[in-house]
Structures are given as C-alpha cells and as structure tokens.
C-alpha cells in the first residue's frame, strides 16, 4: 500500500512546518512527506530529511489544480492556500494523512493507517462537541436539513487520514452545490465543505475520540501545560495522536507552546522565547493579532457582499 503525508506551507509557516516534520520523524514515522506550497514565499527544507519534497500545484495531474481553482472560484471567502489540501485527492498515495503546520506529532502516525482498512476517513478530534459553531452559521438548521446527529460528524480539517476514491471528488463538488443552495447555513471555508461531503455522501468515517476508542482531545487548548498532557496519557491511559494549536502561529510563551519549540537547539529556543516575551510584554503581539483579525473580517465582509 502506497502511503504518505501531505502538508501545506510557505515561508510564514516555515518554523511550525519544520517542527512538525521533526516531531513526525522523532516519533519514528518514516513515511514520505510532501509539502505543498501554500503560496507566497516558499519555505526551505532541511536537505538532511529523508524523503521530504516540496510540491507545487503543477506537480499534480492537470485536473488537480483545475479542481482547486473551481473551489476557489466558488468559495472566494477561503484562501486558495487552504484549499490546496484537496490536491491530496489527486496525489501519488493510495492512502494519505493530511496535517496543518500548527501540529506536533505525539506517536508514530504509521500506526493510524490500519484504521483505513474499514473507513474512508479517520480523524481524532473533539470537533463534535462544539455543536457545529465553527462549521455552521445555523447549526440547528443544518441538522433540520441533514438529519439528527449530523453535527456530531464534524471534523477538524487540520489533521485527518483518507483513503481517496475517485467518487470523493464528485462528492466534494456535490457538497459545494449543497452549500450554494443553502448559503446562509454553512460557514464558507474548507472545513465546512469536508463536513458537508461526509454527511451528504455518507463517507465511512471514524473519529478516534469517540467511543469505543475514546482517545483524548488533540486540541492544545484542552491542556494547561506539558505535565497535564503527560498526566492524561499516563494516568488516564488515553492515547493522543497529535497536538493541534488550531489557528495562528503560537508565540512560544505559553506553557503548552513548548512542544512547538521541540526541533530547535537550546540557543534557538532561547532566542524564540525572548522575542516572544518582548513582543508580548510590549503589546506588539496583541496589536498584530487584532490587526490580522480586522483584515480577515473586512475581507469576509467584502466577499459576502458580492
């Protein structure tokens, strides 16, 4: 079985991507890793890494960038870089794992692929506990249209495994058509598209955080610090496949951010912490965060008004 890992990154997310690759390899996973260019300035890869390559959309079959272009045209609210994760459905692997950059591997991800023997999609997150508020503008209306329990099928699109089938591509376009027919129901981004496709096409999907597996949450925000994380794994005997920081680039100054610095040398780690602390204490980081939020909101409003 031909298996591999896809990431999407650029120069802005290079530090997180490099740390992610470090954690993947440190946990013993030797699967090939393909880093799809997000757009903007390209990142630099460590030549010492084994079987890690950069890919542009042009490295996929011609129908792949055309597919992403179609999604971009019909979901203008979503940056094209986010949509490039869907290139994985046209790639070289019979089975793949996709991961965002703000993730740290906590186990050998090769062990996760056995679950794809029975499912088309496998993930480990607690998005199902959010009542759909990150995927749907009208969660109750979504369940009214799609059926009871469909909010429970929500997925965090930042980390999942897939056994891609040719039918999935049509399913994603059918999901997009459903979103267009019910414009006020979903939030217009890639994660909602994946959620709708899973529900509409009834993809066999497994969430390892649900019974009977009951894996622990993969969201960094559910843990106070690294000790809390270790206690969950050791005392509660609950596996955690990865930690996801879910949005933005962490400063490295909070206790749980320490995992994002794992791949740095001691000197690099100190420099990163010093810059983060200075930015935080001066108020610069908070100002930048508010500015980015304002820009994103203005762009969404401009797109929604079209």
* pLDDT per position as a tens digit, 175-205: 999 999 999 999 999 999 999 999 999 999 9
Task: State the average pLDDT over residues 89-104.
Answer: 97
CB-based contact 155:192 (threshold 8 Å): no
Q: For 213-238, what is each residue's pLDDT tens digit?
A: 999 999 999 999 999 999 999 988 89
Residue 284 has pLDDT above 80, yes or no: no
| Mean pLDDT score, 70-82 | 96
Q: Which residue has the tokens 């090769």?
A: 110
Q: Which of 18-32, 99-113, 273-287 has the lowest mean pLDDT?
A: 273-287
Predicted pLDDT at 287: 64
Whether 273 has a pLDDT exceeding 90, the answer reads no
Give the chain's mean pLDDT.
91
Which has more pLDDT, 252 or 121?
Answer: 121
* Contacts (Cβ under 8 Å, ≥6 apart) of 272: 252, 261, 264
pLDDT of 243 > 80? The answer is: yes
Residue 8 clears pLDDT 60, i.e. is over it: yes
What confidence score (pLDDT) does residue 208 get? 98
State the pLDDT confidence band at 290, using cuts at 50, 70 and 90.
low
pLDDT for the residue numbered 149: 95
């Amino acid at each position: 079985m031909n298996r591999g890992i896809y990431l999407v990154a650029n120069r802005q997310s290079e530090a997180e991507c490099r740390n992610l690759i470090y954690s993947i390899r440190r946990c013993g996973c030797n699967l090939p890793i393909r880093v799809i260019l997000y757009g903007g300035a390209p990142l630099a890869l460590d030549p010492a890494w084994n079987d890690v390559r950069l890919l542009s959309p042009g490295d996929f079959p011609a129908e792949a960038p055309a597919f992403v272009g179609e999604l971009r045209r019909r979901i203008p609210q979503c940056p094209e870089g986010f949509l490039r994760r869907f290139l994985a459905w046209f790639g070289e692997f019979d089975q793949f794992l996709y991961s965002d950059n703000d993730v740290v591997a906590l186990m050998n991800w090769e062990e996760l692929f056995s679950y794809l023997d029975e499912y088309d999609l496998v993930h480990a997150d607690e998005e199902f506990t959010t009542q759909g508020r990150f995927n749907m503008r009208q969660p109750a209306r979504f369940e009214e249209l799609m059926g009871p329990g469909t909010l429970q099928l929500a997925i965090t699109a930042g980390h999942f495994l897939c056994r891609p089938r040719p039918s999935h591509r049509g399913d994603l376009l059918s999901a997009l058509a459903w979103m267009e027919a019910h414009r006020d129901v979903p939030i217009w981004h890639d994660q909602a598209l994946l959620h709708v496709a899973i529900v509409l096409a009834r993809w066999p999907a497994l969430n390892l955080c649900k019974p009977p597996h009951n894996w622990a949450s993969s969201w960094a925000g559910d843990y106070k610090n690294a000790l809390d994380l270790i206690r969950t794994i050791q005392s509660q005997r609950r596996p955690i496949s990865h930690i996801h920081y879910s949005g933005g680039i962490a400063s490295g100054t909070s206790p749980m951010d320490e995992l994002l610095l794992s791949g740095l040398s001691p000197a690099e780690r100190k420099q990163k912490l010093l810059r983060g602390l200075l930015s935080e204490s001066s108020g610069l980081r908070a100002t930048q965060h508010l500015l980015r939020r304002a820009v994103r909101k203005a762009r969404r409003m401009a797109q929604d008004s079209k």
